[in-house]
Chain A
Amino acid sequence: MELPVLNNTASEAPKGGCSAGSCGSTDDQMSHLPDSIRDKVKNHPCYSEEAHHYFARMHVAVAPACNIQCHYCNRKYDCSNESRPGVVSEVLNPQQAVKKVMAVAATIPQMTVLGIAGPGDALANPERTFETFRALSEQAPDIKLCVSTNGLALPENVEEMCKYNIDHVTITINCVDPDVGAKIYPWIFWKNKRLKGREAAAILIEQQQKGLEMLVAKGVLVKVNSVMIPGVNDKHLEEVSKIVKAKGAFLHNVMPLISEEEHGTFYGLTGQRGPTNEELQELQDACAGDMNMMRHCRQCRADAVGLLGEDRGAEFTLDKIEAMDIDYEAAMKMRAEVHAAINEELESKHAAKESKLVSIQGLKKEATRPVLMAVATKGGGVINEHFGHASEFLIYEASSDGVRFIGHRKTIPYCEGGDTCGDGESALDVTIRELSGCEVVLCSKVGYEPWGPLEAAGIQPNGEHAMEAIEDAVLAVYEEMRAAGKLEAKADAAQKAA
């Protein structure tokens, strides 16, 4: 059955085109949502692109058991040097998890969200997961509680989840077709049997869809994660996006497959590749015609702590938490103050933006070609990271329609200082490769040495907008390019092609 689609041809439209709900600047990602939902997500770093610059999240690894196997997962998950879902350094019991959450809440007041995402499946460990939530809903009521699940055990747990203020659930849905599913899931554990192949995938899909419908009926906010696996489900995910949107999921997050031989996964060992940055963006744009897309996901570990893109987990190991002396009452007061200050800052930014939008719309500029720019930031929504210290860059697209957030690209910091400087040259090569397609890189500072190679690769380094708001700076640079006549050539070609 084909569902009606308004605009699923975004990938063929000019890239500067205005995909549904994300016209203008990035936080408009949320602008079409009802107030009740916007209120729920405004300080959730995983659900709001804007919030992720300011608010932090943490995962507690209390759920090691899993009821399915995915071809991108290796259940020997104990590794401190890998940053990807399903990996943790230590599994906690619920008491230890609560202690850790309280310690992080006091140390990182920006932490507003606690998720249970594994390292197995949160709902394959219902006692451990719910005991943690029960305690936290009593002891830390200002923290939002979230669950990530593969969906197999979702329907039977919806009722219980609703008891603990869990108003955000993420379901990983990689397919709605059992034949596709059979290539992703080698087995599921179902009614005391291990089932394989198409039969297993069909049951998993049915449970996921049923769980999604039940949650939406209960008013729980549902995000759908999908792993993009080239040649397996890449074409299929547009259909997945349509269906989950029609059923009421409010956000779709298409993530790239992470697949390396050394991970020891089926995909890693059989040479299944992940998508390129361009392939991922193309699919996200194609799905964006149908629904609100998440593009800022960092695919964090099941025990990650901090702002998205950073992991301060090493500061909160069990032995370090034991040694901490924390005044919870003072911490709770400080948290309230910090949250109020951030919300105030965001509100004044929104007000400023609204007045600016009116003036931009009044100008009615001629259409110019879109430009991708990379930005180095460590949070706060401003350009405040040195080029050589950035382990990731945020990618923005400027066009005559405004500025929109596209995604992030990870890299090796060009110069961490000290012993890694010897590798400076190859790290720069990695960064240049990762920034392919970008014409500008904005950072608070950029050294003399990387300048030449970046320029030679067609990426203009720019350190003139340090500490400025990202979108303002991107727009300013775009306007400079327009004034310098750099936006015309390709726009003519695009017009001729159209």
Chain B
Amino acid sequence: MALEIIESCVNCYACEPLCPSKAIYEAKPHFLIDPDKCTECAGDFEDPQCATICPIEGAILDENGVELNPPGSLTGIPLEKLAA
């Protein structure tokens, strides 16, 4: 059970101080989550904190590779406009 940060991360640092398990660390080319430490915030918070503050749609995946913030979910930009 662990989340993953992928290459669309813009290195904004917002998630790192929020992680209750200290699983997030600065790396090149982008921040990463230590899968051995990540608990998806179970027992600490209702929502996984990194995915709750992340401003970039699609940058954080769950253990099945599913985007926690799918396209349009944060910005409200209609999908047809995003595709263009």
Contacts and interface: CB of A to CB of B under 8 A. Distances in A.
B13 A270 contact: no
A75 interface: yes
Interface string B29-58: 000000000000000011101001101100
Dominant secondary structure at the B interface: loop
A64 B11 contact: yes
Nearest to A270: B81
A477 to B, nearest CB: 48
Given A75-B56, A192-B45, A186 B75 contact: yes
Contacts of A165: none
A37 interface: no
A66 B13 contact: no
A266 B12 contact: no
Contact of A65 (B12, B56, B77, B84): B12
A266 B81 CA distance: 9
B10 A266 contact: no
Interface string B1-22: 0000000001111100110000
B55 A66 contact: yes
B66 interface: no
Interface string A78-111: 1000000000000100000000000000000000
Contacts of A67: 14, 53
B82 interface: yes
| Residue from A67, A192, A266 whose CB has the most chain B CB atoms within 10 Å | A192
A187 interface: yes
A194 B78 contact: no
B52 A69 contact: no
A125 interface: yes
B12 A120 contact: yes
Contact of A78 (B10, B13, B47, B49): B10
Dominant secondary structure at the A interface: loop
Interface in A29-81: 64-67, 69, 71, 75-78
A186 B76 contact: yes
What interface size band does chain A fall in? Answer: 20 to 34
Contact of A266 (B14, B49, B76): B76
A189 interface: yes
Contacts of A65: 12-14, 53
Interface residues of B, number: 23
Nearest to A271: B81
A124 interface: yes
Contacts of B56: 75-76
A266 B53 contact: no
Contact of B11 (A69, A91, A127, A269): A91
Interface in B58-74: 74
| Residue from A66, A78, A187 whose CB has the most chain B CB atoms within 10 Å | A187
A193 B51 CA distance: 10
B13 A64 contact: yes
Contacts of B13: 64-65, 125, 128
A78 B56 CA distance: 14
Interface string A103-132: 000000000000000001000110110000
B67 to A, nearest CB: 15
Nearest to B20: A192
Contacts of B77: 266, 269-270
Contacts of B84: 269
A75 B12 contact: yes
B68 to A, nearest CB: 11
A189 B12 contact: no
A189 B56 CA distance: 14
A193 B14 contact: no
Given A75-B56, A192-B47, A269-B81, A69 B75 contact: yes
Contact of B14 (A71, A120, A127, A265): A120
Contacts of B53: 65, 67, 189, 194
Given A64-B11, A91-B11, 12 more contacts: A64-B12, A65-B12, A66-B55, A124-B14, A127-B17, A192-B46, A192-B47, A192-B49, A193-B46, A193-B52, A269-B82, A270-B78
8 shortest A-B CB distances, which residue pairs?
Answer: A65-B14, A75-B55, A64-B12, A269-B81, A189-B53, A186-B76, A65-B13, A194-B52
Interface of A: 64-67, 69, 71, 75-78, 91, 120, 124-125, 127-128, 186-187, 189, 192-194, 265-266, 269-270
14 contacts: A64-B11, A65-B12, A67-B14, A75-B55, A76-B10, A91-B11, A186-B76, A189-B53, A192-B52, A193-B46, A193-B47, A265-B75, A266-B76, A269-B77
